[in-house]
Each structure stands twice: as C-alpha cells, then as structure tokens.
Amino acid sequence: MIRVLIADDETLMRAGIRLILEHAEDIEVVAEAGDGREAAAACRAQDVDVALVDIQMPVRDGIAAAEDIARISPRTCVVMLTAFGEEASVTRALRAGASGFLLKDTGPAELIRAVRLAAQGEPVLAPRITRQLLERHVESGRSTEAAVRRTDELTPAERDVLRLLGTGLSNAEIAEQLYLSAGTVKAHISRILTRTGCANRVQAAVLAHDAGLTPR
C-alpha cells in the first residue's frame, strides 16, 4: 500500500482528496494535517510514502513543511498542491526539496496516477506548471548561445529525452514516445542533469527551451 499524508488548511479540500484516493486499492490515506507544522509532525510519527502538501498554509507554509519533511523523513516524496499563477512559489519549493507539483484542479485519475508515480520515485510536474515557468523565464530574456553550448555534449538520445522533458512530459510518457524503458529514461535524465549542470528537471526544461529544443 502507498501511505499518503494530505496537508491542506481547507477541510473540504482534504476531504475531497481523501475521497478520490480511497477509490484506489493500492493507496491508503494515513494522516491529514491543517498546517505545515502538523504535516511535519505526521511524517515524524509514522511512515509516509507520499505527502500531498498545499503550498499556502498557516503556521508553517507548504514550502517550510517540505524542508522539514525532507529533514525528518528523507524517504517521503513531497508533492506540492498549487494554484495556477504561483510559479514563484514553485521555484522556491523546488529548492526546498519538493519532488513534484500538481495543480489543485487536477482530475481524479491524474491525482491517483501522480501519487503512484511519486511513490515509485518518478517526478511529478503538471505540464501547465512547466509551461508557466517557461513563459515566465522567456519574459525575463534568454541566453540561447550559452544554452546551446551546455547541451553540445549530450548524445542524440539524451537530446531527444531533454526535448520531451522540456514539454512537461513524465518519465513514463517520454519512454512511451521514444520506445524506451522507464529505467533508461531515468538514467538519461540523470546524465543530462550532470552534464548540463541543472539541479532538477524544471531547470532542464528551461534549458531545453533556451537551447531551441522545444517548440516556441
């Protein structure tokens, strides 16, 4: 069973997420929290595989909670719940150790799928969030020549993976498009991050855009 924590200060939101996840036979909601401090305490008190954490919460917000959970329970994958338009918070949450992001209007099937992906160690990033971050980055200007130089040493296969990563696809979706195994895609992404100096897949997505690998 995938053990899940739901952290959101809105009772109805927590209840709705719980109701959706209870339809999945392999997912169990083991705790709920109304603020960031409670979320960290829940992860300290019991094993949690995936923590669904709202970015905007009282006492300690979701970003502070992500930092606390990463310290208290490194094995827990923190997936941030965010509203469209909070790209600055998403960037901060990435640095805090969050491993995924979902928009609050995500459909039931996608929510269940995202929890399963997170539990498997797969990154979860809603394509709309990726596009929003890219659009914000484009507005601030691009250094295309520098980006091209950073991708020069990538193999053709790695460039293909980076191109699809830049559109916001998950590892499984990239694997399906390129007829590769999920493990091979994960290995490619690891090498891409190392060779390009990117800290995470969002930075890699921005790089793919700057280097002209993704449609503008």
Model pLDDT, residue 123: 66
Q: Strand pairing of 27-33 and 50-54?
A: unpaired
Per-residue pLDDT, averaged over 10-16, amounts to 94
Residue among 190, 171, 191, 189 at smallest CA distance from 181? 171
Q: Strand pairing of 100-103 and 2-7?
A: unpaired
CA dihedral of residues 90, 70, 175, 23 (deg, nearest 10) = -90
Q: What is the CATH number of domain 2-125?
A: 3.40.50.2300
Phi, psi of 78 (to 5 degrees): -95, 120
In CATH, what class is 133-210?
mainly alpha
pLDDT in tens, 53-64: 999 898 999 999
Q: Domains of the chain: which residue ranges?
A: 2-125, 133-210
Model pLDDT, residue 20: 95
Model pLDDT, residue 130: 61
Length reported for the chain: 216
Sheet architecture: strand order including 27-33: 27-33, 2-7, 50-54, 77-82, 100-103, 124-125
- pLDDT over threshold 60, residue 142: no
Q: 3-state DSSP call for residue 191?
A: helix
Model pLDDT, residue 91: 65
Highest average pLDDT, of 26-40, 76-90, 142-156, 202-216, comes from 26-40
The chain-wide mean pLDDT, for the chain, equals 85
| Token pair for 124 | 């979860």
With a pLDDT cut of 70, the percent of the chain lying above it is 85
